[in-house]
A and B are shown apart, each in its own frame.
Chain A
Amino acid sequence: MNPFAYSRPASLADTVNELAGSSRSRIIAGGTNLIDLMKENVERPAQLIDINRLPFSTIDELPDGGLRLGALVTNADTAYHPLVEQRYPLLSQTILAGASPQLRNMATNGGNLFQRTRCYYFYDTSMPCNKRAATNNGPGGCAAYGGYNRIHAILGTTDDTNGQSSCVATYPSDMAVALTALDAVVQVTGPNGDRSIPMADFHRLPGAEPWRDNTTQPGEVVTAIDLPTRGFPDHYTYIKVRDRSSYAFALVSVAVGLEMDGDVVRDARIALGGVAHKPWRKSEAEQLLIGKTLSPETIRPVADALLAGARGYGHNDFKIELAHRAIIRAVLKSGLDNGAVE
């Protein structure tokens, strides 16, 4: 761990200024991810900008009937907020499937969006890692490709046979999987003013720049996450398959929201976690469900479409079949009973 300066700006404007001023400045919110990374020398910020006093700690109704989740509201307060429980139970349940109560009490909504991959090699500065090497921290390459990659991605990866430009990491958040299914919009403020980024565009695939987790620009701060009116409160499910009953990241997770007309699907949202560098959604797959009644037979093509092009890297081969099964179970469950968490 390196020495760093600490500041607590009084305003958003000051925060943006300080953040934009140095590429080695980092925002600290709950600190549950950043501090761990600092202890492992993966992050070596010169300055920590504590934003906990900024006014982003409320959940407010939007004029169009949606809900604005402040960036500094904790994961726990979000999940247990009455309006979230009522209108977006999928989000509540998804958040509660993540981490542990202690962590959820500290972790913020903004911080959750920026949490970094759990790739073992990324965390170990002596290991080759393209994601980390860009910050001049350890050797380049991708040790996970061809290494121990049980928790790694099966979709949207960058892989070449010598691993030189590969990244097969996943983005590990649960919350973001539900946000993606719900078409949430992230509000950011940066040196060039405010902008809105739809969840689907917020995280990115590694492409040729595996060090970039998301599409924010230097100096940008997330202030809120907006949920649109439609929350699928009647038919939803989050299934998270993991190595122990709690306090483990998803090997595969599925967030589903359906609108049903009797037995017939009117609208469908399906997002996958634990399989890619971003929450995985495909509208053409969702379209296949519309107008159908739910059965393993009608859902199977949807799963096929969602997982088209999936490939394993050895230890994670099982994720393809597991994801397939989880999609079918989650969609069926959403249609049948109002989807208790599994």
Chain B
Amino acid sequence: MIGKPISRVDGPEKVTGQAKYAAEFNVPDLTYGVVVSSTITKGTITRIDTSKALALDGVLEVFTHKNRPKTAWFDMSYKDQDSPPGSPFRPLHNDQVKYNGQPIALVVAETFEVARYAATLVEIDYDPEPCETDLLKHLHEARDPKSGVANLFKPLPPKPRGDSAAAYANAPVSMSARYIHGMQHHNPMEMFATTVEYGRNGHLTIYDKTQGATNSQLYVTQAFNLSFDQVRVISPYVGGGFGSGLRPQYQLFLAVMAARALERSVRVSLTRQQMWSFGHRPATVQNIRLAANADGTLAAVEHEAIAETSQFEDYTETVVNWTGKLYDCANSTLSYKVKSLDMYSPLDMRAPGGVTGVHAIECAIDELAYNAGIDPLDFRFKNYSEKDWTEKDKPFSSKELRACFTQGAERFGWSNRTPEPRSMRRGHTLIGWGMATGIWDANQVPARAEAVLTVNGKLRVSSATADIGTGTYTIMTQIAAELLGMPLENVIFRLGDTDMPLAPIQGGSWTAATVGSAVKVTCEALAKKLFKLARKMPGSPLASADFTDVFFANSHIRLRRDPSVAVPLQAIVDQNGGRAISETGTSLPNMLKQKDYSRSAHAAAFVEVEVDEDFGTVVVTRAVSAVAAGRILNPKTARSQIIGGMVWGISSALQEESVMDHRYGRYMNQNLAEYHIPVCADVRDLDVIFVEEVDDIVNPLGVKGVGEVGLVAMPAAIANAVFHATGKRIHDLPIQLDRLL
């Protein structure tokens, strides 16, 4: 089962509309909350008049900072599993406005329509203060970020080594450039929503859009001072997350607050416009200086990043460390700084930091290769790192990047490239080929799972993880089916419920490794238990066998020497007095094994673009991504992840940006008509290669996760292709047509 291209097990539910999302759980006597958002960026609310709204028939309450119920006192209580260092934002906390779009009132009514209308009748006066939101204006004020637990998985840069400035000055070949990235918003298809079912004795069943039911539960219990058994969070389906659901968003807080105050069930859903009112991929400015020796080996690497954060938290991401992992240069300086601005805290967005930093360094490497007169691919072979100096010179647990380069280049036809810019054209169309490297972490964290052999001989496995559309349901089903030798249709995997065994938030491409390992140990434990029971059955043909003598296949435990000697799994449950047989398990990363290695997935992207010479429009006509991500559990769902990542790469490189008018601190393109992401016509020929990679260090399954690595290489490969087509180095993203006119 493992390694087979199984179609999504949740596919039929999704395409037939059976799959329910947070705003689709209809509970009796539901009320509806609509959020009123601030229209200024910074200042004080001087008057808030809710009388007109309250006068409407059907309006139950309008919550503001003035009348909100008391919630937890300490900052700490508002922290969640993904909180950066600082003081988390608290909805309706007081009269202070800290960012544009901040929730300042919640109108709750008997119907959604009345609530929405009433929300327009809430009158607010502000005393506005000048706001600062433009990172480019404040670069000189950048500072070191506060560090915290978040940096465990998002390390800050290591200390410099060697003397990069001197090496840069003395080397024969060099380049230097500045790269500017704008803001982006995740914009999953499903808007954020929470349905709170208010039960007996105030018990809350919460249907939440989240990438971690356990995270939402933790947050609610702390913020509202409740015990875990009073709060159950359910989130079986997530209509896309991309990181936006890594933290509980304010609609959760508001829905719970209202439900408790009114002792009613409440649903709060955000609008598409309000999807711009919390976390984003931060604007980042990077400066890079590279130098090479005459033979094309790197002599100096300097990579500096300055990113924005909010006034209340130090959100950080790993932007520059990738450079050190990819290029082992003796004279290297990596630095990362932040600047607090009047905005909401940024939030991890698919390949956070990676897509930003790797775009810059991989464009810089391309430029340096050109300056050195070396083919960009050869240049990367020449400067291939065998160890990771950012992690104390550890070797890689596995690194088949070379194979990615070779196989990707072969499939793409890289050897037919003419290196000269503007050397490939067709009429008005300039053709360019570019390539770049991608890299992403291969982490594993602790998780738990439960496996049950039910009375009717089916296997039910569960863990409180999420499936944000990545295929978690499917691969976990495969793992369980394989380990217990059962057909897929007899195996059911369930997730997204805090009544299930604990799992962390789904992010960082670690779910396959993390939850997969938990499912593995749990199913193995269940297998042992079943074997013991089978042996004890009266007249058991396995009575004298050891566990190592048997294997699980076709829903039987069979003797290796003679597979016809077997006990059906159904017989074991029958024998168990008709009771189900269950086992729980915990998987912990094997630190002893992992600690001496740097662990990453790698990729290489090769891209062809067509650029209209007169209009500057760019189309990615074809792209090949070769990916080394350990063992591929399901080539079909994995390929979808990589293709999705590649489309994100096209988006980042050419189209996507949240535009803010810094005079107001307000986003101007807060809808999907004006916030551009690729449409079908922009997505042409995308090809994926999975390179063979064996890794028994990363985790027991040997998997590395494919959710993010497919995106990382694409923007630079596209920008490099645009250079090859036009001779223009466009350092800032997105590369909209006016930059090429």
Q: Which A residues contact B (CB, under 8 angstroms)?
A: 1-3, 39-41, 100, 118, 120-121, 123-124, 126-127, 143, 146-148, 150, 241-248, 251, 318, 321-322, 325-326, 329
- Using Cβ atoms and an 8 Å threshold, which residues of chain A touch B682? 244-246
Distance in angstroms from B483 CB to nearest chain A CB is 45
For B632-671 the 0/1 string (1 means CB < 8 A from A) is: 0000000000000000000000110001010110101111
How far is it, in angstroms, between the C-alpha of A324 and the C-alpha of B671 when the chains are bound?
A: 30
Report B's interface with A, CB cutoff 8 A. Answer: 39, 113, 116-117, 120, 271, 273, 428, 614-617, 619, 654-655, 659, 661, 663-664, 666, 668-671, 673-674, 676, 678-682, 736-738, 741
B679 pairs with A247, CB closer than 8 A: yes
Least CB distance from A43 to B in Å reads 13
Chain B neighbourhood of A325, CB < 8 A = 614-615, 741
In the bound complex, residues from chain B placing their C-beta under 8 Å from that of A2 are: 117, 120
A-B contact sample (9 more), CB < 8 A, given A123-B671, A247-B679 = A120-B668, A241-B737, A244-B655, A244-B676, A244-B681, A244-B682, A247-B681, A322-B738, A325-B615
For A1, what are the chain B residues with a Cβ–Cβ distance below 8 Å?
113, 116-117, 120
Contact A321 B661 (CB under 8 A): no
A120 CB contacts on chain B under 8 angstroms: 659, 668-669, 674
- CB contacts (< 8 Å) of B661 on chain A: these are 143, 147-148
Contacts of A150 in B (CB 8 A): 738
The distance in angstroms between the C-alpha atoms of A123 and B666, with both chains bound, is 13
Whether the Cβ atoms of B676 and A248 lie closer than 8 Å is yes
Q: Which partner residue on chain B sits nearest A324 by CB separation? A: B614
Of all chain A residues, the one with the shortest Cβ separation from B121 is A2
The chain A residue with its CB closest to the CB of B650 is A244
- The distance in angstroms between the C-alpha atoms of A93 and B232, with both chains bound, is 55
A3 to B680, CA, bound (A): 37
**Distance in Å from the Cβ of B180 to the closest Cβ of chain A?**
15
A127, B741: Cβ atoms under 8 Å?
A: no
Name the one of A39, A123, A126, A147 contacting B663, with C-beta atoms under 8 angstroms.
Answer: A147
Q: Which residues of A contact B659 (CB under 8 A)?
A: 120, 148
Q: Considering the chains assembled together, what is the distance between the CA atoms of A148 and B616 in angstroms?
A: 21
List 7 A-B pairs, Cβ < 8 Å. A39-B271, A40-B273, A100-B679, A126-B39, A147-B661, A322-B738, A326-B615
Q: Is the CB of A118 within 8 A of B673?
A: yes
Among A118, A143, A246, A251, point to the contact of B674 (Cβ < 8 A). Answer: A118
Q: Is the CB of B679 within 8 A of A245?
A: yes
- Across the interface, which residues of B come within 8 angstroms of A322, CB to CB? 615-616, 737-738, 741
Closest 10 CB pairs of A and B: A126-B39, A245-B681, A318-B738, A120-B668, A246-B681, A325-B614, A247-B679, A245-B682, A241-B615, A246-B679
CB distance from A143 to the nearest CB of B (A): 7
Residue of B nearest to A325 (CB): B614
Q: Which residues of B contact A118 (CB under 8 A)?
A: 673-674
Cα A248 to Cα B614 in complex, Å, equals: 19
Residue of B116, B428, B661 with most chain A CB atoms under a 10 A cut-off = B661
By DSSP majority rule, is chain A's interface helix, strand, loop, or mixed?
A: loop
In the assembled complex, the Cα of A251 lies from the Cα of B681 at a distance in Å of 18
Question: How far apart are B124's CB and chain A's nearest CB, in angstroms?
Answer: 11
- Please report the C-alpha to C-alpha distance between residue A205 and residue B617 in the assembled complex, in whole angstroms: 29
Cβ 8 A contact of B741, one of A39, A245, A321, A329: A321
Are B39 and A148 touching (Cβ within 8 A)? no
Q: Whole-angstrom distance between the alpha carbons of A196 and B673 in the complex? A: 33
Considering the chains assembled together, what is the distance between the CA atoms of A241 and B614 in angstroms?
Answer: 10
Contact residue among A39, A41, A242, A244 (Cβ-Cβ distance under 8 Å from B678): A244
A126–B273 alpha-carbon span in the complex (Å) = 13
Q: Which residues of B contact A40 (CB under 8 A)?
A: 273
Q: Which residue of A lies closest to B40 (CB)?
A: A126
| Nearest CB on B from A129, distance (A) | 12
Which partner residue on chain A sits nearest B617 by CB separation?
A241
- In whole angstroms, what is the CA distance A244 to B620 when docked? 11
B738 touches A244 (CB 8 A): no
Residue of B nearest to A3 (CB): B117
Contacts of B736 in A (CB 8 A): 243
In the bound complex, CA of A120 to CA of B673 (Å): 11
A227 CA / B704 CA spacing, docked (Å): 62
Rounded to whole Å, the gap between the CB of A75 and the closest CB of chain B is 16
A41→B679 contact, CB < 8 A:
no
What B residues does A321 contact at CB under 8 A?
741
The closest CB in chain A to the CB of B39 belongs to: A126
Min Cβ gap B572→A in Å is 54
Closest B residue by C-beta to A329: B614
Q: Please measure, in the bound complex, the distance between the C-alpha atom of A242 and the C-alpha atom of B664, giving whole angstroms.
A: 27
B426 CB → nearest A CB, Å = 14
| In-complex Cβ contact of A124 among B666, B673, B737 (8 A) | B666
Instruction: For A119, give the chain B residue with the smallest CB separation.
Output: B668
Question: Assuming A120-B668, A148-B661, is B738 touching A245 (CB within 8 A)?
Answer: no
Which single residue of chain B is at the shortest CB-CB distance from A2?
B117
* Contact residues in A for B738 (Cβ distance below 8 Å): 150, 318, 322
User: Is the Cβ of B668 less than 8 Å from the Cβ of A243?
Assistant: no
Cα A318 to Cα B738 with chains together (Å): 6
Nearest chain B CB to A101 CB, angstrom units: 10
Complex Cα distance, B676 from A3, in Å, reads 32
CB-based contact B680/A246 at 8 Å: yes
In the assembled complex, the CB of A37 is this many whole angstroms from the nearest CB of chain B, namely 12
For the complex, give the distance between the alpha carbons of A241 and B616 in Å.
Answer: 9
